[in-house]
Chains A and B, each alone.
Chain A
Amino acid sequence: MIFATVGTQLPFDRLIKTLDNWYKNQSVSKCFAQIGPQGEVPQNIPYAPTLTPLQFAKHIAECKVIVSHAGMGTILTALRYRKPIIIMPRLALHGEHRNDHQLATVANLEGRTGIHVAQNEAALVDKLRHFNSLKASKCVSNCAEPKLLSAISDFMKTNEKELNYA
């Protein structure tokens, strides 16, 4: 199954529409889309505006590949459950987000095993054609880097003086 998700805050019609049109013309696999509040309804794919955490977890567990906006929540979930993920960045110019930080996200994550970047609709269709052979991350990742965890522990233990940056 292909599981598409756009996060809880905003719709991402460009992503869902591309998936919907691609799916119409092939008969390989099941598909489910979480389209966000006020998202344009797909014609060929079962969908829901939002999912409970339990429903979301079920779709993640059952899917073969995740198709998503470049939101860190979904990306981290894909790494944790070792599912290949195709990400397409939201663009402010289409009103898809408040700014273009997702462009920076994809630029910095491209090339990591398990993360497959589609810059636009055409690239997304290209990735979808090969979805069965997309690789997942090499190992399960479910917590932050040890370096960050120890920096936080140190922060909690030490006496902080005045503000450092103001």
Chain B
Amino acid sequence: MKQQEKKTKVLAVASGGGHWIQMLRLRPAFADCNVSYVTVNEGSKVDVPNSEFYTVKDGNRDTKLSLILMAFRILYIVLRVRPQVVISTGAAPGYFACRFGKLVGAKSLFIDSVANAEEMSLSAKLATSHANRVFSQWPSVAKSSGVEFHGSVL
């Protein structure tokens, strides 16, 4: 009998609130994968009870120290999980995950939040230099920023 093909290891990274809810709406695309989730709220574990789950402390451009701590924590998670694919719906944790994913040979996709209807977020702009692919969820933003549009979570 043919041995079962090994499932693709995916690291799915999103900060809290809308970023996390957008990630949950992508789950049908991960049906045949082995997914580890990373987000900022411990309570979000209830949304993905059967998957590996990590949290990072939240941070943004205004909280530099928490950003540095977040970067180290993401680096640790990436080295531990050793994903083949990194997928993020933003923001800062996703940027770091795309960046560090390269260290373990993972390809990465950064999907900018649907909240950014007129301009890409800072983390998405930064991700264009590190992620293999970047999607905006608005055609006009994708066009003006030179990234891809393939529909939205709405």
Contact = CB atoms under 8 A, between A and B. Distances in A.
Interface of A: 7-9, 52-54, 71-77, 79, 98, 101-102, 104-105, 107-108, 141-153, 155-156, 160, 163-166
Contacts, number: 135
A72 B133 contact: no
Given A71-B115, A101-B119, A145 B152 contact: yes
Contact of B117 (A79, A105, A143): A105
A141 B112 CA distance: 20
A153 to B, nearest CB: 5
B36 interface: no
Interface residues of B, number: 55
Contact of B33 (A144, A150, A156): A156
A60 to B, nearest CB: 12
Contacts of B107: 155, 160
A76 B18 contact: yes
Contacts of B18: 7, 71-76
A166 B41 CA distance: 32
3 smallest beta-carbon distances between A and B, as pairs: A72-B18, A73-B18, A151-B150
A148 B151 contact: yes
5 contacts: A143-B27, A144-B151, A148-B137, A163-B129, A165-B134
Interface string B46-66: 110000000000101110000
A164 B28 contact: no
Contacts of B43: 52-54
Given A72-B113, A143-B27, A104 B17 contact: no
Given A160-B107, A160-B132, A8 B150 contact: no
Contact of B154 (A141, A160, A163): A141
Contact of A144 (B19, B58, B153): B153
A166 B129 contact: yes
Select the residue from B17, B41, B121 with max chain A CB neighbours within 10 A. B17
A73 B16 CA distance: 9
A102 B115 contact: yes
B143 interface: no
Nearest to B132: A160
A72 B135 contact: no
A77 B20 CA distance: 11
Interface in B102-124: 107, 109, 111, 113-119, 121
Contacts of A98: 60-62
